């Protein structure tokens, strides 16, 4: 853990354990089930679970399901799957909605203490009267209702006597507080909506700032980690714990939000991309969701290593997506078998190779990890090479195939291009080459050298495959004008090719990962691959300008 020492939250935990402030730490990951998890959430997951793991503590998975309008069980299930896939198991599964009765009772307690009141102002009026950083807020005309009246109204809110938006419950704190969050924040609102867990039992729902500290206190959470935007909410967090007379006192700590270049990281925006069909679902391999990264081929290890490397800096800078890609390559380097795949095929006939003959050539499965052994690759008179590896009129320093030039076929022989076959439109459709049997790979041939080595797949046994290449889903906002993110959607983020892979890949299973020689790492797509059609997703290309 390279950056562990820069983890200030970890230092706090060490101190708290040392001084006996806590005996055991309890953290929680508290997603709202209103969308699929993204890589930003993964940061919070890793932080909470790894901290508890390191210090023998506990981590709760708690669904912060206090807003029935946007939540759904589909999301609950996907979140559980994603947390497990990242490699973590929770020590308790909780739903904030299970505490609604308790929260209601605590709100009643606040009313009885004169610390909360029912307000008839509209949401807009409340916002307008909140004031600004330089101007104090104005008190609501309903602020001084009696305790009896408030108790009666709050009960009737619960009973469903009022319409959505007609009334709210507010904390009675200080309309002149320099911290706007303390200017009588709303604690409860009315929403006549069916909740995925509590059905129609409730028509009033607690707001985040009221619910969250109570949830933490009820569960005995010791270190409540959240992102930096909530720093200004901390005084309110502490106020709720104190005024609601919670026995257990959790503490909130903030860390920097993860942002990535060319990436939106908000469930609301990601949902828009899904709903408006810019992508093929939440798990589209171009999405920064955990399920999208999984389908793309990222491993849990690569994501965890990436996040660990980031540490928990208080800053919320934008991290280069290439850093994430770097960790994918690092993780797959030793794990992924090497293989050859031709993405844009061009047929080559080796005219001096005996017709009907097929020979098997041996190749290392992973030269960086010799323990993975060897594989057999067929070779015969007809092969496919990459269209890009041939040019009829090459520029200087082009060392691949062109008329009269000789190149090495990886794991096989030197071939020389003698003839270019074209169709009626003048497109190159086939090459006629000759091979030199003396030059067989591994034979020690040293009579002459060639400058280019290209990959290939034997034509007769090649397995057809669909290959999906990706570019960032969002383009850079180059002119700097504030744009709606949908205007930045890259129209070329997906390219679908029909190519060929080595025959020994015909039994590849969903999520098998390979390094295609000279191309990059690819994952067998788990959704669209069928028994007679392999589909591969590009995880990352081989090249990188990124260095850690």
Q: Which residues of 226-244 are buried (b: 16+ CB within 10 A; e: fewer)?
A: beeebeebbebbebbbebb
Nearest approach, Cβ of residue 31 and ligand ATP (Å): 4
Q: Under a CB-based contact definition with an 8 Å cutoff, are residues 465 and 385 in contact?
A: no
Closer Cβ to ligand ATP, 238 or 528, answer by number:
238
Closer Cβ to ligand ATP, 196 or 257, answer by number:
257
Instruction: Tell which residue, 436, 437, 420, has the closest CA to residue 428.
Output: 420
- SS3 state of residue 110: helix
Closer Cβ to ligand ATP, 302 or 405, answer by number:
302
Nearest approach, Cβ of residue 77 and ligand ATP (Å): 15
Closer Cβ to ligand ATP, 213 or 345, answer by number:
213
How many whole angstroms separate alpha carbon 337 and alpha carbon 43? 29
How many whole angstroms separate alpha carbon 308 and alpha carbon 47? 8
How many whole angstroms separate alpha carbon 524 and alpha carbon 335? 15
- SS3 state of residue 17: helix
Instruction: Tell which residue, 449, 417, 411, has the closest CA to residue 431.
Output: 417
Residue with nearest beta carbon to ligand ATP: 40
- Write the Ramachandran bin of 122: left for phi over 0, alpha for psi from -120 to 50, otherwise beta: beta
Compute CA 139 distance to the chain's CA centroid, rounded to the nearest angstrom. Answer: 44
Closer Cβ to ligand ATP, 5 or 313, answer by number:
313
Closer Cβ to ligand ATP, 225 or 350, answer by number:
225
Closer Cβ to ligand ATP, 228 or 374, answer by number:
228
Nearest approach, Cβ of residue 209 and ligand ATP (Å): 13
How many CB atoms are located within 10 Å of the residue 272 CB?
15
Q: Which residues of 4-22 are buried (b: 16+ CB within 10 A; e: fewer)?
A: eeebebbebbeebbeeeeb
Nearest approach, Cβ of residue 410 and ligand ATP (Å): 42
Q: 98: burial class by Cβ within 10 Å (0-12, 13-18, 19+)?
A: middle
- For residue 107, give every residue at least 6 positions away whose Cβ sits within 8 Å of its Cβ, in sequence order, or none: 116, 154, 169, 187, 188, 206, 210
Nearest approach, Cβ of residue 390 and ligand ATP (Å): 46
Closer Cβ to ligand ATP, 162 or 230, answer by number:
230
How many CB atoms are located within 10 Å of the residue 327 CB?
23
The dihedral sign for the CA sequence 37, 40, 46, 49: negative
Nearest approach, Cβ of residue 169 and ligand ATP (Å): 22
Strands 168-171 vs 116-119: parallel, antiparallel or unpaired: antiparallel
DSSP state of 278: S
Nearest approach, Cβ of residue 219 and ligand ATP (Å): 14
Closer Cβ to ligand ATP, 28 or 167, answer by number:
28
Nearest approach, Cβ of residue 116 and ligand ATP (Å): 24
Give the count of alpha carbons within 13 A of 261, CB side only: 13
Nearest approach, Cβ of residue 321 and ligand ATP (Å): 14
Active site amino acids: 32, 257, 267
Q: Under a CB-based contact definition with an 8 Å cutoff, are residues 332 and 544 in contact?
A: no
- Separation in Å, CA 386 to CA 389, 409, 426, 543: 5, 11, 18, 18
Q: Under a CB-based contact definition with an 8 Å cutoff, are residues 214 and 247 in contact?
A: no
Q: Which single residue is written with the structure tokens 């709606």?
A: 484
Binding stretches for ligand ATP (CB under 6 A): 30-32, 40-41, 43-44, 64, 226-227, 257-258, 265-267
Q: Which single residue is written with the structure tokens 């970890």?
A: 10
- 176 backbone dihedrals φ, ψ, rounded to 5°: -110, 5
Q: Under a CB-based contact definition with an 8 Å cutoff, are residues 523 and 297 in contact?
A: yes
Instruction: Tell which residue, 331, 348, 335, has the closest CA to residue 384.
Output: 348
How many whole angstroms separate alpha carbon 406 and alpha carbon 370? 29
Nearest approach, Cβ of residue 82 and ligand ATP (Å): 12
Closer Cβ to ligand ATP, 62 or 400, answer by number:
62
Closer Cβ to ligand ATP, 82 or 184, answer by number:
82
């Amino acid at each position: 853990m390279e950056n562990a020492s820069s983890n200030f939250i970890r230092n706090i935990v060490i101190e708290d354990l040392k001084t006996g402030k806590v005996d055991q730490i309890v953290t929680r990951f508290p997603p709202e089930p209103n969308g699929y998890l993204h890589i930003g959430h993964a940061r919070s997951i890793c932080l909470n679970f790894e901290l508890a793991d390191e210090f023998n503590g506990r981590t709760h998975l708690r669904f912060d399901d206090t807003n029935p309008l946007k939540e759904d069980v589909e999301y609950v299930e996907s979140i559980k799957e994603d947390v497990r896939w990242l490699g973590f198991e929770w020590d308790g599964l909780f739903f904030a909605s299970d505490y609604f009765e308790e929260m209601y009772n605590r709100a009643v307690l606040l009313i009885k203490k004169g610390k909360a009141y029912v307000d008839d102002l509209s949401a807009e009026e409340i916002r307008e009267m909140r004031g600004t950083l330089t101007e104090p807020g104005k008190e609501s005309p309903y602020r001084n209702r009696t305790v009896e009246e408030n108790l009666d109204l709050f009960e009737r809110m619960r009973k469903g006597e009022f319409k959505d938006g007609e009334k709210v419950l507010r904390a009675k704190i200080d309309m002149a507080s320099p911290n706007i969050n303390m200017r009588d924040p709303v604690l409860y609102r009315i929403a006549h909506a069916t909740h995925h867990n509590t059905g129609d039992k409730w028509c009033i729902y607690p707001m985040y700032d009221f619910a969250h500290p109570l949830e933490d206190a009820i569960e005995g959470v010791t270190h409540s980690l959240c992102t930096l935007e909530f720093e200004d909410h901390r005084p309110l967090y502490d106020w709720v714990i104190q005024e609601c007379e919670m026995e257990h006192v959790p503490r909130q700590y903030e860390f920097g939000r993860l942002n990535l270049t060319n990436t939106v990281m908000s469930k609301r925006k990601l949902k828009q991309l899904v709903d408006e069909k810019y992508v093929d679902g939440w798990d589209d391999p171009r999405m920064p969701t955990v399920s999208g990264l999984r389908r793309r081929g990222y491993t849990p290890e690569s994501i965890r290593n990436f996040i660990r490397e980031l540490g928990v800096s208080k800053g919320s800078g934008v991290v280069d997506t290439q850093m994430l890609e770097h960790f994918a390559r690092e993780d797959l380097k030793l794990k992924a078998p090497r293989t050859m795949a031709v993405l844009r095929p061009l047929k080559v006939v080796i005219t001096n190779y005996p017709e009907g003959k097929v020979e098997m050539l041996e190749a290392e499965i992973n030269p960086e990890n010799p323990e993975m052994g060897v594989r057999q690759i067929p070779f015969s008179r007809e092969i496919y090479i990459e269209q890009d590896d041939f040019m009829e009129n090459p520029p200087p320093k082009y060392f691949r195939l062109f008329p009269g030039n000789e190149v090495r076929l990886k794991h096989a022989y030197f071939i020389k291009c003698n003839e270019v076959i074209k169709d009626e439109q003048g497109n190159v459709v086939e090459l006629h080459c000759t091979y030199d049997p003396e030059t067989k790979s591994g034979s020690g041939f040293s009579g002459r050298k060639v400058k280019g080595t290209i990959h290939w797949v034997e034509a007769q046994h090649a397995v057809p495959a669909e290959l999906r290449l990706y570019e960032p889903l969002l383009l850079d906002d180059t002119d700097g004008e504030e744009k709606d993110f949908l205007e930045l959607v890259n129209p070329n983020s997906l390219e679908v090719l029909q190519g060929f892979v080595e025959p020994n890949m015909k039994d590849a299973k969903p999520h098998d990962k390979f390094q295609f020689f000279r191309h990059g790492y690819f994952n067998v797509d788990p959704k669209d691959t069928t028994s007679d059609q392999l589909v591969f997703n590009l995880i990352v290309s081989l090249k990188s300008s990124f260095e850690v």
